[in-house]
Amino acid sequence: MAKIIPFKAVRPTRDKVSLVASRPYQSYTPAERESRLDHNPYSFLHIVNPGYKYQKEITGTERYKLVRNRYLEFKEDEIFIQDQKPTYYVYKIINREEEEFLGIIAAASAEDYENNCIKKHEDTLKDREETFKEYLKTVGFNAEPVLLTYPDNPVIKEILLQVSKERAEYEFTTTYRDTHYLWKIDDQELIQTLQKEFEAMDCIYIADGHHRSSSSCLLAKDLKAESSNHTGKEAYNFFMSYLIPESDLKIYEFNRLIKDLNGLGKEEFLIQLDEWYRIENRGQEYYKPSKPHHFSMYLDGEFYSLYLRKTKYNFENALDELDAQLLYETVLEPILGIKDLRTDTRIAYSDGKKDIAYVKSEVDSGAFTVGFGLFPASTSQLKKIADQNLVMPPKSTFIAPKLRSGVTIYEF
């Protein structure tokens, strides 16, 4: 039973939302960040990069406190307002590829995360969890929803479609050419219907945001222990999420780039690879895998197709069938000597939206020696891995949609 509740969002005024909304801080180049900070005083980047005001790089607890200060200044200047009633927020994104996503921004239960009613498919790093938990505890808000996905539901779909026919509270297009829409649902009858539909679900799944959700769960535990009047209804018991149906989820691959062949010559490497794969030289033909367990490889100016020898590899669980795991088990670890995918500096990742041409350009530049193209995982694979309590390797999936920060803010 999933507990998904409305909340009172802090959000930009309608006239400023397009100026406030920003991509995640790290997704900008330094030049892009500098331009936005120089020319847009309303950008949410001013909140998450408070040192800009002093032309100084500030880190750690000092930065967290200044983030809190900048946030309060945005509220004092009435750039941000807060809704007076708990609300569900219907949110639609149409990206530049004309893919459409329609879902609900709401508060999900940290207890559901702890009890595996909200299921995970990726591992998290303890240091990163603790760091973000301390950040949340200091700043007192979260501005980027966790992406959750739920089984397609006709009742929820009909409500979302009906609400989205009305005039949107927000409608804006970004320089990235994504168009965003937001509608409010504060009608009690509709709220109760939506809550009941979510409560009837056995579980929902994290699509993107494992560290944000795990950090929120740690924060709930800390604040519960510090409170003498804990009731379970406090805002810290929940975290902001964007929930979309499984059929709307778009999953792209992460391709792999490797700096060297682990001391092997080209021919020796291909011979070792031949043990696991049927190899075909495609020459200059751009090759992209068209089904699971097929890979593309770019090496020394040529493309290769790799087809797994299925008699060689045993599929014992859902993780074994994931191509990111398969490539690790057959190539990256035994042949190229890459044991820890999280820390080895010889491997880099490129999301599938950059396509195989990006892999080629990186290898041709000399920055990398070989690149591998993967077939994207499916939603059913993601769910099976989560259901079996297994964990994907890092950078197994690049999942859309990607939301803007600062459009809805959750305070606790």
Q: Is the pLDDT of residue 204 over 90?
A: yes
| 148-200 per-position pLDDT tens digit | 999 999 999 999 999 999 999 999 999 889 999 999 998 999 999 999 999 99
pLDDT of residue 56: 83
Give tens-digit pLDDT for 243-275: 999 999 999 999 999 999 999 999 999 999 999
387 burial (CB, 10 Å; 0-12 / 13-18 / 19+) is middle
Contact 76, 6 (CB under 8 A): no
Per-residue pLDDT, averaged over 38-60, amounts to: 91
Half-sphere exposure of 362 (CA within 13 A, CB side): 24
pLDDT computed for residue 342 by the predictor: 81
DSSP H or E segment with residue 248: none
SS3 of 164, please? coil
Average pLDDT over residues 118-127: 87
Q: Are strands 170-173 and 179-185 parallel, antiparallel or unpaired?
A: antiparallel
Asked if residues 181 and 160 have their Cβ atoms less than 8 Å apart, the reply is no
Mean pLDDT rounded to a whole number for the chain: 95
pLDDT confidence of residue 125 = 75
Q: What pLDDT score was predicted for residue 399?
A: 93
When comparing pLDDT for 97 and 82, which is higher? 82
Domains in the chain with CATH codes: 4-250+401-411 (no CATH), 254-396 (3.30.1760)
Kind of pairing, strands 141-142 and 347-351? unpaired
pLDDT per residue as tens digits for the range 336-371: 999 998 889 999 999 988 888 999 999 999 999 999
Average pLDDT over residues 62-73: 96
281 or 52, which is more confident? 281
For residue 130, the tally of other CB atoms under 10 A from its CB is 13
- The pLDDT of residue 348 is 95
pLDDT tier, 128 (very low <50, low <70, confident <90, very high otherwise)? confident
- pLDDT for 394 equals 86
pLDDT of residue 149: 98
Q: How many CA atoms lie within 13 A of 360 on its CB side?
A: 14
Mean pLDDT computed over 70-96: 97
Model confidence pTM above 0.85: yes
Q: What is the DSSP string of 288-340?
A: ---STTEEEEEETTEEEEEEE-TTT----STGGGSHHHHHIIIIITTTT----
* Inter-residue contact 380 to 246 (CB < 8 Å): no
Enumerate the H helices of 171-249 as residue ranges: 188-199, 210-226
DSSP-derived secondary structure letter, 14: T
Residue 357 to residue 288: CA distance in whole angstroms? 10
Using the predicted structure, report yes or no on whether residue 240 has a pLDDT greater than 80: yes
Residue 236 has a pLDDT of 97
In the predicted structure, residue 203 carries a pLDDT above the cut 90:
yes
Mean pLDDT in residue range 296-300: 98
- Largest pairwise CA distance in the chain: 69
Distances (CA, A) of 62 to 49, 66, 248: 12, 6, 40
How big is the chain by its Cα radius of gyration, in Å?
23
Q: Tell me: pLDDT of 310 over 90.
A: no
**Torsion 331-334-210-200 (CA) sign:** positive
Average pLDDT over residues 324-341: 96
Distance, CA of 38 to chain centre? 28
| Per-residue confidence (pLDDT) for residue 349, from 0 to 100 | 94
Residue for token digits 């993967």? 374
